[in-house]
Structure 1
Amino acid sequence: MALPELDTSVGHSFGLEVDGITIKQISEVTGLKMEQDVIELKQNTSDGKYVVKKLPGRKKAGEVTFTRGLTGDNSFERWVKDAQFGKMGAARKNGVVVVYDYEGQPIKRYKIMHAWPKSLEIGSLKAGDTSVLTEKLVVTYEEMEVE
């Protein structure tokens, strides 16, 4: 569903789709970006002036962090275990970060390719604390496309 003209999106709801499973309980996604190297070409023009041209280089790989409240769902842990035990055929996956509107309809999709989990961090455990426990999954990917 496209946004109406002149409207912008609100980071209201988003999810991660991997292996046909959608995880919608994610509370924060950071680090999602497309980047490439810059090549500087230094040369003299025909009239002797020194110029520097900037040319597009190779695409850069990236990392994205997913934060969600700690639940009984162990999909993050299973994915991390595959990578830790060297099962890269199972660990390296393609996934999609989906941004939803207020009605739950997808408005933007960011496809990450050849992604695998780098780390899983559990939030601070403090006796007597009433804050929500979280888990942060850092995923490295080789390419990203906007669908």
Structure 2
Amino acid sequence: MPLPELDSSVGHSFGLEFDSVLIKRITEVSGLKMEQDVIELKQNTADGKYAIKKLPGRPKAGEVTVTRGLTEDNSFEKWIKDSRFGRMANARRNGSIIVYDYEGLPIKRYKLINAWPKSLEISTLKAGDTSVLTEKLSITYESVELD
């Protein structure tokens, strides 16, 4: 059942999909944004007053970080190997970050264009610690679109 018009949605879970491979157990997504340059046009008006007009400029590339619990799935490692060894034709991909509602249905999809992994970080390994081990993948992209 869709949410009423004035209700906000709650992201219960997140997914990452690249090349028809869906990773559903993403626990955190940070840094996802659409941004562009601002151009200042300084001019005089017809009556001689000084005015500054702000215009939209070029879109900026971005970077997003996704976090998931450490599992035997090695798709993050395979992907970052391509970029580390300069195989950018394989590393550069189009994909999506998907937000799911409480029923597991997708409610929003952010399409990342020409994305590739910049870094992979494993959480601190500490003997006797009871926290969940995670891996954070930083993905750089040229643009983001709403799907």
TM range (shorter): over 0.9
Q: Contact 2:41/2:52 (CA < 8 Å) preserved in 1?
A: yes
Task: Give the corresponding residue for 2:103.
Answer: 103
Q: Tell whether the 8 Å contact from 1:2 to 1:107 is kept in structure 2 after alignment.
A: no
Show structure 1 runs of 4+ deviating over 4 A: none
Mapping of 1:1-147 within 5 angstroms? 2-147=2-147
1:70–1:134 CA contact under 8 A, matched in 2: yes
103-112 vs 53-62, greater mean Cα deviation = 103-112
Separation (CA, whole Å) in 1 of partners of 2:123 and 2:92: 25
2 CA distance for matches of 1:46 and 1:77?
A: 61
Q: Which amino acid aligns with 2:95?
A: G
Distance 1:26 1:13 in 2: 7
Note closer, same or farther for the CA distance 1:40–1:26 as it changes in structure 2 (3 Å cut). same
| Count of residues in correspondence between the two structures | 147
Listed as ranges, the gaps of 5+ residues in structure 1 are none
How big is the shift at 1:54? 0.1
Identity %: 74
Provide the C-alpha distance between the structure 1 equivalents of 2:91 and 2:4, rounded to a whole number of angstroms: 38
What TM-score comes out, normalization by structure 2 length?
0.97
Q: Normalized against structure 1, the TM-score is what?
A: 0.97
* Matched-pair contact (CA < 8 Å) for 1:94–1:111: yes
In structure 2, what is the Cα distance between the partners aligned to 1:2 and 1:32?
24
CA contact (8 A) 2:11 2:102 kept: no
